[in-house]
Amino acid sequence: MKDTLLTYTAAAEDQDAVLRDILKDRFNLSQALTARLKWQYRIKVNGQWSRTNHRIRPGDVITVDVDFSEENLIVAENLPLDIVYEDEDFLVVNKPSGMAIHPSKSGGTGTLANAVTFDWQKAGIHTLFRAINRLDKDTSGLVLIGKTQFAHQGVFVQDEQRGIRKRYIALAEGLISEDSGTINQPIACLDPAKRQRTVHPNGQPAITHYKVLERLPGHTLLSFELETGRTHQIRVHMLYMGHPLCSDPLYGHPSPWISRLALHAYEMTLIHPRSGKEIILQLPLSADIQSAVDRLRI
């Protein structure tokens, strides 16, 4: 990792602030990470190790070294990896459909975690695999991965507060008459032994916003933005509407137009915890969904 040192120069309004508050407010560090950094002497004021109850004066230079060497027990596997964005804090990849994010058991292979671990080991990076957002195995698109505990916790908080905007595109069966709308229906898992979810009054709140992009013979191409992040949320809500996604193995049936679930995570917007700048990441529509759309247009 090229730059693991976080730096902040105290301003006039920081006069007599406690260091731990600076770490929380200026660096967005969690209490757990602050404690870990403190006991490893990685927090310094003007080049000297300092306790977190130290009083800060304007002009003080506060540095935090977040470079931890961590043992990653995931098996490294040389698999194709489509990297969309990378810096010292994050890796963003375009996950193909059919690839799980994590191994289902210790020593498992064939997943995104295995591929990323191989890529990191080749680059001399020794850290844990931390996926910040999750996609179903059958869904393709953007996956955000934290390369440090600092990066992970800094953006994970955003994701919990819905500060990360994620948009999806999908091909659904049938024609949807409304140009846009919102599905506000709770989702529950009624049988823990099964993967399926369903709309149910005892479920967790789930809100999906949709917009029709194009109406095709017997099908509708839509974009989605989620207010909540329930498992299979788009798939369950579209089934509830009577328009399951094409080739959905759990909630629909095979389609002659595409051989896999026609759902693609194509856009993500977040605030970078180090720079405070907005990052917008976008992908084109996946080739197989695009092919299905093109053939339906004929």
Which residues contact residue 77 at a Cβ distance below 8 angstroms, ignoring those fewer than 6 apart? Answer: 109, 110, 114, 115, 117, 118
- Nearest CA among 23, 63, 30, 31 for reference residue 44: 63
Question: Is-contact 101 135, C-beta < 8 A?
Answer: yes
| Alpha-carbon span 94 to 187, nearest angstrom | 27
- Residue 92 token pair: 């963003």
Tell which phi-psi region holds residue 162, choosing left (phi > 0), alpha (psi between -120 and 50) or beta. Answer: left
Catalytic residue among 136, 138, 248, 288: 136
Tell which phi-psi region holds residue 296, choosing left (phi > 0), alpha (psi between -120 and 50) or beta. Answer: alpha
CA atoms 74, 194, 252, 234: torsion sign? negative
What backbone phi and psi angles, to 5 degrees, belong to 208? -125, 125
DSSP for 34-81, written as a single string: HHHHHHTT-EEETTEE--TTPBP-TT-EEEEE--------SPP-----
Concerning whether 294 is annotated as a catalytic residue, the answer is no
Question: Is-contact 176 212, C-beta < 8 A?
Answer: yes
Catalytic residues: 136
